Amino acid sequence: MKKNEKSFLPTTRQEMDALGWDQCDVILVSGDAYIDSPFIGVAVVGRMLEKLGYKVGIIGQPDVKSDKDIKRLGEPRLYWGVSGGSIDSMVANYTATKKFRNSDDYTPGGKNTKRPDRAVLVYTNLIRQNFKNTVPIVLGGIEASLRRVTHYDYWSNKLRKPVLFDSKADIIVYGMGEEAVRELTQALDKGKEWKNIRGLCYISKEPIIEFIQLPSYKACLEDKEKYIDLFDHFYDNNDPISAKGLCQEVDGRYAIQNPPCDYLNEQEMDEVASLPYTRELHPYHRPEGQVKCLETIKFSIMTHHGCWGECNFCAIGVHQGRTIRTRSEGNIVKEANKFKEYKDFKGIISDLGGPTANMYGYECNKKLKHGTCAHQRCVDSKHLCSSMKPDHTRVIGLMKQVRNIPGIKKAFVASGIRYDLINEDKRKGYSYLKELVEHHISGQMKVAPEHTQQHVLDLMGKPGKQTLIDFKRLYDKLNKDMGKKQFLTYYLIAAHPGCTENDMHELKRFTTQELKMNPEQAQVFTPTPGTYSAVMYYTEMDPVTRKKIFVEKDPVRKEKQKAIVQAKDNFKSGFAS
């Protein structure tokens, strides 16, 4: 679309010259190629700052062995913004058993040759090498956000310092950070103090006494229970309403984490979603090939941010937050209508959802008023909090509106769905599933029980297997009543802390006998920063009881756990008695 190609943010000096710019105000550096999409963090930040009147350039996947890319836009006036990309660079580059990945869905041509390990460290050093005494370097995105305090690093198998101490950057904007980015940019532009802005981390020579004092880096190295204490505080202080600031001593200096910035309200969510994204790969990258991720995200719609599911192996709650922020139905319908302007749109919306699709449109009133509870989860492996009342009314209405737009042939819901919430919603849960089965899936629906053994589910924070059995029974009945032959596919995790080979045999038995299928979507657990499961992996303790748990750390035996559940036979000789 020639019209849209003109509206990319510049990534070359020629584009800057065409705009009459001598200098960018902000230059964003990313581990992804420059994809101008509302699903790509640096594109969102760039478009937000553009709307505020700032000149923003983007450098995607710079060559780290030369200065040709990092220097091509010159030096920014206000700051550099550095992100590892849409996926943590270590997760993007290595499998759960630390084998190098050959493909990358965010790299043109698909070959994993452009994203360095620990990308935020490498890009920061690249800037420092080529621009002496430069303007501040600001880290953002999931890679930096999840490493803002002392954290367990699976790939080096040790505790690492907060990323600011390793990266030589100046500031972290953590979480989604929309308000923090705006306030920081304006403060730097006007020469004002920025260290009191919410949603930022920085290094200080002095502690902030009013903040929660975390166990020091040294204390965490010496005592694993101190590390659990640190993570508890880190996890419990992510809500803009209830959170306090954090302070951690690291080798005589202090990592400061200000309380989180405010979440966007519905109108602000709509405004960010309506920014003029081209939804394309920038032409600069196209000679190297297309990026695979566009097949999924180009014609997908993000309906909301946040997730209160609190799976212990997932970092969404820490990065996006545990409070749902929704866009309006009208704004979502407007976005769907705009898809029809693209010549390659065939009437298929790839996904209408969010981190958890059926959390759209409702929240706990107590949480909205007082913030997340410090020691009470909205949902765990055994029950849903009585204050949280799932209500699928609004998401049902949204689905109907979108699929009834002229020219929309199908609006798939491919995002994750919590089937326990469907079961809990006695008023509208059945109606929601009926809508999905009849209109919004094709052939199969993906669910993520992850396991079936209760002690493993407890450590994962996932609902019990009876919830899955009840849901499957309802799903099968709906398909039968409608005359459809649609199936469930199941995501399962092997080698999670607490899980033994016997547990995988029992999981295999359950999938064979109860689900009548052979699992294909099984993965080996990866301990990622910002998750309780990574804390369990490192400490070999249940973080709640502090009791020792089994943790499989041998890569061969991890793969064996996965092989057990995926085997075409039943591994009869290996079944536990």
Which segments within 84-156 are labelled E, that is strand? Answer: 137-140, 151-153
The helix or strand, by DSSP H or E, that contains position 487, with its residue range, turns out to be strand 487-494
Whole-number Å distance between alpha carbons of 282 and 285: 6
Q: How far is CA 162 from the centre of its chain?
A: 19
Task: Give the separation between CA 232 and CA 97, rounded to whole angstroms.
Answer: 27
* 307 assigned ligand-binding residue: yes
Q: Does the annotation flag 293 for ligand binding?
A: no
Give the angle subtended at the CA of 51 by the CAs of 276 and 348, to the nearest 5°.
Answer: 20
Torsion angle of the four alpha carbons 159, 162, 165, 171, in this order, in degrees rounded to the nearest 10: 170
Range 274-292 burial, b when 16+ CB lie within 10 A, else e = beebbbbbbebbeebeebe
311 carries a ligand binding annotation: yes
Angle at which helix 178-190 crosses helix 41-51, to 10 degrees, equals 50
- Burial of residue 487, with CB atoms counted within 10 A of its CB: 0-12 exposed, 13-18 middle, 19 or more buried: middle
- Region of 43 please: left (phi>0), alpha (psi -120 to 50) or beta: alpha
546 — alpha (psi -120 to 50), left (phi > 0) or beta? left
Cα–Cα distance between 278 and 281 in angstroms, integer?
A: 8
Q: Which two tokens stand for residue 575?
A: 């079944």
What dihedral do alpha carbons 294, 58, 63, 293 form, nearest 10°?
Answer: -10
CB atoms within 10 A of CB 187: 16
Binding residues are 307, 311, 314
Binding residues for [4Fe-4S] cluster are 307, 311, 314
